Amino acid sequence: MFHGLTTRTFPGGVHPPECKHTSASASLEAPRPEKVILMLSQHTGSPARSLVSVGDPVVTGQKVAEKTGFISAAVHASLTGVVKAIEMRTGPAGNRSEAIVVEGSGPDEFRFLEPLDWATATPEALRNRVGEAGIVGLGGAAFPTEVKLAPPRPVDTLLVNGCECEPYLTADHRLMLEKPVPVLTGALIIARILKVNSVVVGIEDNKSDALEQLSRSARELAGTGVSIRVEAVRSKYPQGAEKNLIQVLLKRLVPPGKLPMEVGAVVSNVGTALAVCEAVMLGKPLYERMVTVSGCVRRPANLLVRIGTPISALIEACGGITEPEAAVVMGGPMMGLPLPSLDFPVLKGTSGLTVLGPDQLRNARFEPCIRCGRCVDICPMFLQPYLYALLADRGRHEDCEAAAVMDCIECGACTYTCPANRPLTQWIKLAKTKILQSRKK
């Protein structure tokens, strides 16, 4: 049931312009691409290992790469055609990995898994299916879902994250409006895997239509033995960060350096829940996802996109870029990655493409820190962003670690609010990278 609007929120946070105009229009299916580029490292963990060779025919849904190691994910063909190349490619984050290039040929053929009855299948069989389907977290982190659904300690609650607080992005909003029952069914399947009987769906109060839709669907699904509560939370960035959502909805604080399971919770994005439902009930592997294309494009839209589709094809499908000096960001303006080229492919974790005009881009010039304390006041993790930036700029990464820089969720709120225009998040990311590198030595 829906418990009504609430003023509950977390301390700190910011209110950037929402710019969520695409939420008003129904999603569209993106044109079938001529080729797809399937990165074998598009998830957290070890890269997948190719199961095909150049010249092999493949069909949509066929597993073309298997997971390697405990934290990894399989990759499936998103296009029927022929493997044209298996080559090293650079990903949007600068990482290098193998990629399988498939060139389309002829009409689509599909290879799905055998559907399962989720109400009678064992939790182990359901979790194995999630792994077979190559599902990862679709909220951005792309952590293999099969691993996430096997916490080493018992949990009591599943949180379904429908906040989508990043400006411009509305893909999750459209999923909740267009497929509310499959989204909640996916949540029930995850609850069965986790052996919990409490599901809480958190949605920001700027999505009243989604709140109503999921509340209605939750009533339709009553009688499963699992409680589904749909809760509204105040619209504020970064409300969708899982630790913030747990704090607001469950009144539990995840300790620094710990995971949600430490307080008895697992958090799943609504898109991930839908993918789980389709993998179990339809046998459908993860080879497509909803992507928001917004900003300075002629026809902003939410598109159902095949994974591996070149970014250039999506921009073209939306009528092209309207600003000559615009920047294309994979994700949203707060946490997204600026793309140096449109040749990169859509990944499993690609929630959107935001095209920002010159007037929306941050000036590269910045000033010395004035010790105003704004970044400290708005930090949702109670950290000291200004200090990390000063230390990282001087190469004092060990001091950053001692001051808990690894607890930063890289939401970008500090950079957004800084009156001196200092790139605080970038310095923090640098410090964390250096710390992780030193740990490997």
Give the start-to-end residue ranges of the domains of the chain: 1-30+110-361, 374-440
Give me the pLDDT at residue 7, please.
Answer: 55
pLDDT over 90, % of the chain: 90
Residues annotated in a binding site = 369, 372, 375, 379, 408, 411, 414, 418
Pull the structure tokens for residue 6: 């609430």
- Across 14-18, 99-103, 221-225, 302-306, least confident range: 221-225
Confidence of residue 1 (pLDDT cuts 50, 70, 90): very low
Main-chain phi, psi angles of 248, to 5 degrees? -75, -45
pTM for this structure? 0.95
Mean pLDDT of 235-256: 95
Counting Cβ atoms within 10 Å, is residue 7 exposed (0-12), middle (13-18) or buried (19+)? exposed
List pLDDT tens digits, range 290-318.
Answer: 999 999 999 999 999 999 999 999 999 99
Beta bridge partners of 204: 233
Give the Cα separation of 330 and 333 in Å (integer). Answer: 9
Confidence of residue 24 (pLDDT cuts 50, 70, 90): confident
Pull the structure tokens for residue 154: 């018992």
Mean pLDDT of 350-368: 91
**Please, are residues 329 and 337 in contact by the beta-carbon 8 Å criterion?**
yes
DSSP 86: E
For the CA atoms of 53, 54, 57, 62, the dihedral, rounded to the nearest 10 degrees, stands at: 50
Residue type, 381: M
Residues annotated in a binding site for [4Fe-4S] cluster = 369, 372, 375, 379, 408, 411, 414, 418
pLDDT over 70, % of the chain: 98
Pull the structure tokens for residue 226: 């699992």
Mean pLDDT of 76-91: 97
Mean pLDDT of the chain: 95
DSSP secondary structure string, 377-391? HH-TT---HHHHHHH
List pLDDT tens digits, range 34-74.
Answer: 999 999 999 999 999 999 999 999 999 999 999 998 999 99
**Looking at the domain 1-30+110-361, which fold is it?**
Rossmann fold (3.40.50)
Helix ranges, 4-49 (H):
none
Give me the pLDDT at residue 112, please.
Answer: 98
List pLDDT tens digits, range 173-215.
Answer: 999 999 999 999 999 999 999 999 999 999 999 999 999 999 9
List pLDDT tens digits, range 132-147.
Answer: 999 999 997 899 999 9
Give the Cα separation of 73 and 132 in Å (integer). Answer: 8
Distance of CA 220 to the CA centre of its chain: 28
**Please, are residues 159 and 266 in contact by the beta-carbon 8 Å criterion?**
yes
